[in-house]
Structure 1
Amino acid sequence: MFESFGRGLKLILASIKMGFQDKRLLIPGLMTVFSNFFFAILLFLEAKSRVAVEHSASAKAVSAGINMGKNALQHGNPADIQQLMAKTALNGPWDQGGLQGLSEAASPDAVLAVVAILSVWWLTNRFLEGVTTALVYSHLTEGSGSGRFSTACAAVFSSLPAIITLGIVTLIAKKVARFMRDKRSSGIFGMGINFIASIVEVFWTMAGHLILPAIVIEGTSFWGALKRADRIGQGNLIAIGVGEIGIDTINRLVMLAVCLVGVAGYGALYVYKIPANAPIVMIGGGLWAMAVVLTTAMSIYIRSAFFTCLYVWAIEAEALSEAERVNCQPPAPLAAALA
């Protein structure tokens, strides 16, 4: 137990150490941060365009309603009055606040566009995580600086069908967990269902981080990677738990420190009444934004590197007994990182 606990901590430190040794390992993490910005802006623009269309439709509906109302008042035709009431009634075609308006806002085209953006977003993140895995694996087995970005991308591209399958199964697992939450009852039984749903989400998230190295490193199918991840996970539950908690703690502490620096800088601006367009403010703001981006990229990298290190160690120790694993010698680069 204590050996597994220590192994988890060592793998976290090894991941951080490798990041300082070879800055190229952080490139996929940086690309992930910027791709997240890109897809978030894309979603915002999609929503904005839909709102603009709805506003245009509302304006046309108001204009048509005014004309129809004038005709009904001038001529008093019962048919015109009934038509006006039908159009402006609750959930009618011109009731933009009713279910009809909501259904038009969530049209099939809008839903398809959002699903497409989210799918490509997820696939891009997993692709870049796979590139990180390939680069770290090369670092661990061949030495620092041995990994090539183009080679890592080619390895991930060749495993794209398995990664897409991982995405589909991940979506199903999350949908099942959400369905369990939505259908839970009140009381103790409902709390139990909610707990089980949380367990499903957490364990599948951790399983995904182990499945991806098996897909990228060994080039296996999704189901083969799932079996491999299951074997590795069963023998390293404590190390995985320590890694998840440790990585989250480190990332949150570092991000908290960066945020406090930003708050302190903003406080200094307020106290000393420094204008926002002053050069020192622009330079300081730019440096702080860079720190946020680097911290986020580092947190993404550390998690990918940790599970890759764990995977490489587990491959070496897989054929050994529990007693022999204490003296298991990992590849020389990994041993150097763990030292």
Structure 2
Amino acid sequence: MAPKSVVIVGGSVSGLLQGLQLKRQGSKVIVLEQDPSQDRHNHESGVSIGPTVVSLLEKYDATGRPAAIPSQFLSVAWRKWLRVMNMTWPHNMSNWGCLYLILRANFDGMKSETVPNPPGPRDGDGEVEYRPGKRVTGLSYDKTKSVVHVQFVDVVSGEAGSVSSDVVIAADGVHSTVRKLLQVPTRRDYAGYIGWRGTVPERLLSKATIAFFSNRLNFTVLKGTYFISYFIPTESGQVEPGKRLINWVWYYAVEEGCAEMTSIFTDVNGKRHPHTVPRGLVNPDVWAQQVARFLPQMIAPLAEVVTQTPKPFVTKIDRAYRPRLDLSID
């Protein structure tokens, strides 16, 4: 039986997946999201969704919008060899922004270019609320009423508030406030490599390159580095051939604190970023040097995709560790 009331801390994709499922099961759901913006899109980033998420969307999504592009194969290129391995590997590749907007349309009826006419509630749906700009500051358990009180502050106005529920779900990511409040020991380390990332509109690419990347997840292995690339929907939900995006990630080893790391994470305005240089701020000279170094190793389809990418960005890859604990709130 679903709980009568739930507070979800974190309003990104994982929190919304939980929220939609609970809403459909009749729970009253409040999502507290720290980001004050009303819509958290502009994430042209690929994400693979597994069978559990596909099943959840098939059961609970009422928008009728496809959230992913299916692929049937996994292929590997090595240096200049186009196909050194090819195997059947059905999977579904999505766009973070597209998936988020579909979930928001289902959860709280938010309109967007992706879903301009959100579906109304179904019979049996619980009441829901999405509250942006709310940073959780405390948790306490009321034993007499068997409810959890969640304290928060509005990040814009500074006004404090609280909500109570039968269940609280922490879906606020690796920097989780809830984990800190519950003193869950978590360690986050740099993994030793970064991810150059980008997307390319399909219309900018040749027919040969489109055919090479179609219907598959592609690994391309170069000397000491590798790429993953695949088709994804646009943020507005376009999945038709000719309107899609190719998403790619370039995993590249860099020593923490070295001169190369400093150069990569210093943007076009001279600002040093600790974790991510956003799209549009990457120093074009640094990017040009990175591409020129490896371009001679690349197969022609990958070279075309990389050189046609309008606005790459770069982020550090981290590893997070935490023990498995049973926790209680006093």
Structure showing greater radius of gyration is: 1
TM-score bracket, normalised by the shorter chain, equals: under 0.3
Q: Structure 1 or 2: larger strand share? A: 2
**TM-score with structure 2 setting the length:** 0.22
Q: Structure 1 or 2: larger helix share? A: 1
**TM-score with structure 1 setting the length:** 0.22
